[in-house]
Structure 1
Amino acid sequence: MFESMTSPSDLVALARANAALVRRAEADTLLIAYEWAVAHPAREDGADAAIFHSPVGFEPISGDGTLEVNEYAVAELGGALGLSTDAAKKLIGHALELAHRLPRLWARVTAGEVPVWRARLVAEAMIHAYPALPAEGVAWIDAQVAPFIEKMGRAAVDRLIERAMKLYGLAIDEDENGASDTRHVTIVSERDPFAQTMQVHAELDIADALDLEQAVAAGAAGLKAAGCEESLDVRRSLALGELARHQTALDLAGAGADEETVGRTTARRVDLHLHFTATVEPDESISFGATGQLENRQRLVLLEQVRRWVNTSHTDIRVLPVVDLNQTLETDRYEPTDRLRRQVLLRDETCVFPHCTRPSRRCDVDHVVPFDHDAAAEGRPQPGSTVTENLAPLCRGHHRLKTHTAWHLESPANGVFEWTSPHGQRFRRDRHGTSDLSPPDLHTPRTAPTPTPA
């Protein structure tokens, strides 16, 4: 293709043409998501409506007054688009928000006049606006945003939402309700995986901050007196770590508490799941690679760091048996043993549904072929044995999907899972990710879609 390009002007023209094609394709995908939602409504009581789960409850995928979508229908669209189920929920929610509550912006997006990502930015802000705007406020936002969306970012949209809340009497009076509490302690793990440190951000009560400052300063001074030659900043960080190690529990039991109560409050243990590659040398000794993985934080760790942890007098080390991922483990029981469960979680690392990335340690361990609880009593062979090759980690949502819908799961080999959707899509999932095995005829629609009016 590029051999025929004779000048930079030709490349510019090709870039513009491709950009227009991408914009049109993205708008069509948004339309498809809306049509999919229309074709798969939730029940009238909303019991099977798609939602987002959070530590404090649940959140709807789109704003008040929009169509509720059957939760089990989302995964099919996600598979077709190569998205996780949560990403597909978000796409459908944005399409519903735009079509039902922001019709002016929806018209411009579906006409290919503005990038889809800008419209989705507005939809996301509107869905999570708190308190929720009434219909008049939403219409006002739509009128303000639609003509100028090309020039607006998230900050500008947030300012408009704040103004709409004031216009429609929804602004929170901080003097009456009290200013929001901004105290927090955050351990930042999303950094360079090769970094051997982690950042800690905190905002404390003034008295607590001054107490911590005094304790850290005293600890740094004590390290210097003991011969530590590190810089002041390094000694302060070491002192903070020492505070964490020595303060095993807050004194919540009180001075008059009995020994049994105090004993229950002072126990502290931190589990680190470390993975290093071991090699058998010619002299039959075992050597370990210099770099391993800290599973809890999905980051790399140096073997030398682990040696320092082990050699620290205040560190209580608990070594778990090595699990051979190629070994077959089994039990006659329905529930897997701790060792078998750990083997499966380590083997797959994440939920094994197509495109899902939820860590396996937060998943259920499910039987690929269901366990027959009556087989032993009736003298029949067990079709769904609790064995390595018949177990798979599934997050709770995809566990329910496998149990209650027509999605079908098979495991042709240990750690390899093949899924077939109700509409005939096929996916293979293994440690390397998701592969699409769908037949070619699924890539060509039989009829051109006709958009349904919002």
Structure 2
Amino acid sequence: MNMQVREHSGSSVVVDDGSIVIRIGCPAGSTDGSGPDAAAVSRADRAALLNFAARADCYQGLVMWHRYQAVYSLYRAKQAESEADASVDAYTRLFDPQCQTAASYATAAGVRQYAGELFVDRAIACFERIPAIGRLMRDGILNVCWFVRAVEQTALVDDGDLLAFIDAEIAHRLAGMGGLSANRVESTVAAIVAEHDPDAATLTREQVASSKKVSVTPVADGVSEMVIVGSTEDAAISLGAINALADGVCPFDPRTKQARRSDAATALLQQSQFTCLCERDDCVSELAPAQIDARRAQVMIHVVVRKQTLDGVSQLPAYEEGVGPISARHARELVRRPDAVIRELDLDTVIADCTRHAGRYRPSAAVDTAVRALFGTCTVAGCDRPAWKSDLDHVVEFDHRDPGNGGPTCVCNLNPKCRFHHGVKTHAEGWVDDQIVDANGVIWTEVTTPEGVTVRRQAMNLWLLPELGHIQCRHGVSFGVSDSSATRPENRHAGNEPERRLTRTQAKHRYRMQRRAANRRRREIATVTDGEPPF
């Protein structure tokens, strides 16, 4: 047998009967210590270097899949021997095939028995419980850590037929989401498990809740670490209260932010006074009770939930800021909290605002909430900064001089970016992002690095707000800089001095439009060749 498993950009994996041959294309100049001369590195070379640095380990999942297959074969052999042996006693049941396989693996690998049992358990899950997700690891779509987390999240699903459905649904959704991250994989698995087996999600939450505790561990001479384990909501509110106190000091306080937090938490627990340590006569700290209470009032946890879920008609999960999908039961419990505030989001209002006010710079409150709920986090791959703690960014830049010529203030052109990634896009050269709504109403975001590497992925919470992918925009799909916006500024230079035809900002926007157009043309060609994404 000779099976080609994967081939991409000069790299390949071939699995023969007796060997696994992995060939990874190594970019020129990356094998020696010096690397290529900086001036000689083209954009294509930089893209190759970046792809190699970021993705050269994607075949570890294939190797791990075969390692799991090997130990699973050992387990099945021991299980067959055990079933054929009629002399079963208490000790045989104690040292069952799984235990014995783990002991053999632990001895050979030089690890503890517990680690061996975990490895065997994951191998069994890979081939018996969630084989479709396991194949995603084999094919390099998931890394080993993401697969292990999926094993843990599906561990309490005990109905075989339901587990097979959940396995297939998770694999299908993950395979079509584009660029993945640990948070995105975990959120997807959590949403599907919570929707189709709420009891498994509830049991998981109850197991975690039973581990609530407070512990103190000495760290160094005179310093100890206190750990409080509690509910996610209480932890977030408590941190907000600590920050509300710690942020009241003046700019000249000598402590770091973490040190101020520690002192503020201690003051809250001991009901003692928290003061600024600047020791200046002109201290402008804001530590009066009314000022602290005003900052605490701004602490919020956002939960997005369908009305049908709150009414008990549907078991569709909700989405909690900073956590991810939560079960319908959990969402209903949160609504019953005395400090909960319910605000209805009318999607018809969102659609109307997008069509009526696309030329306005600031989105309406309804559009703002809908966009943050749709994406959940910063839209740059790998960044988990919550959307409500991020900036809303016009993907195609808004033109303040001629709003009709720039990007619209619409769901199709807005997404959240954390302050760092918003700054990178705005001020660093070469970063281009794009947002596309395909024919099926799926909203995609793209980020292209200065090296030319493009990462494309779906809006994370489209499963919760699918209507947002079907807004009939009236402003079209192409935005650019017109001749009127490209004219020279009124403040012209005197005499024959050189003048800019475009300001620096206009030039940067034009470059981004050209890159977006090139990316879209390349994507259209790929769609014709390979079908709808993922490619």
Q: Tell whether the structures are fold-level matches, with TM greater than 0.5.
A: no
Q: Shorter-normalised TM-score: what interval?
A: 0.3 to 0.5
TM-score (ref. length: structure 1): 0.40
